[in-house]
Amino acid sequence: MSRPDYRVLRSKLRLTDLPYSRSWGGLFRFTKTLEVFLLKLLQILRIYRTRKSIIGIPSLATRNYTSLQAVVYNGTQEEVLGFRPRGLLSRVLRGVPNVEMFERLRFQLGVSEKSTRTVEASTELRGFVHLQLPWQLPWRPPAQASLKLFPRGVETSFGTVRLGDYDVHECPVFFVTEQVKWIIISDIDDTIKESDIATTTTFKAVVRSIFKGNYYTYKAIEGMADLYRELAAQGVLVVYLTSTPYQLAPFLLKFLRQAGFPEGPVYPRWLGNNRFGHKWRMLHRLLSNLDGQKVFLVGDSGEQDLQIYRRLCDTHTFGEKVEKILIRHVPGTPLPALADARENLYADPQSLKKQLEQSLAEY
Per-residue model confidence as pLDDT tens digits over 268-282: 998 877 888 899 999
Give the model's pLDDT for residue 92.
61
Give the model's pLDDT for residue 141.
84
Distance of CA 184 to the CA centre of its chain: 15
Distance of CA 306 to the CA centre of its chain: 21
Task: Give the mean model confidence (pLDDT) for residues 93-115.
Answer: 84
Rounded distance, CA 1 to CA 47, Å?
Answer: 54
Mean pLDDT computed over every residue of the chain:
85
Secondary structure (3-state) at 56: strand
Give the model's pLDDT for residue 204.
63
Give the model's pLDDT for residue 62.
92
**Neighbouring-strand partners of residue 57:** 69
- Tell me the fold of 22-175: Immunoglobulin-like (2.60.40)
Residue 5 has pLDDT above 50, yes or no: no
Q: Which residue has the higher pLDDT, 302 or 94?
A: 302
Give the model's pLDDT for residue 230.
95
Each residue's pLDDT tens digit, 15-48: 666 666 566 778 888 889 999 999 999 999 999 8
Rounded distance, CA 363 to CA 235, Å?
Answer: 13
Residue 81 has pLDDT above 60, yes or no: yes
Residue 1 has pLDDT above 50, yes or no: no
Give the model's pLDDT for residue 248.
85
* 22-175 and 182-361: identical CATH topology: no
CATH 3.40.50.1000 assigned to domain 182-361? The reply is yes
Question: Mean pLDDT: which of 195-204, 242-251, 320-329 is highest?
Answer: 320-329
Residue 13 has pLDDT above 60, yes or no: no
Of 91-100, 208-217, 231-240, give the lowest mean pLDDT range. 208-217
Of 23-32, 101-110, 148-157, 321-330, give the lowest mean pLDDT range. 23-32
CB burial readout 74-103, b (16+ within 10 A) else e = bbbbebbbebebbbeebeebbbbbbbbbbb
Task: Give the mean model confidence (pLDDT) for residues 85-92.
Answer: 64
Identify which of 237, 203, 213, 227 has the alpha carbon closest to the alpha carbon of residue 351. 227
The structural domains of the chain, with segments of one domain joined by +, span 22-175, 182-361
Amino acid at 246: Y
3-state helix, strand, coil in the chain (%, to 5): 30, 30, 40
Question: Mean pLDDT: which of 1-10, 53-62, 70-79, 296-305 is highest?
Answer: 53-62
Rounded distance, CA 359 to CA 363, Å?
Answer: 7
Question: Mean pLDDT: which of 20-34, 93-107, 155-169, 201-215 is highest?
Answer: 155-169
- pLDDT class for 244, splitting at 50, 70, 90? confident
- pLDDT class for 10, splitting at 50, 70, 90? very low
Give the model's pLDDT for residue 4.
41
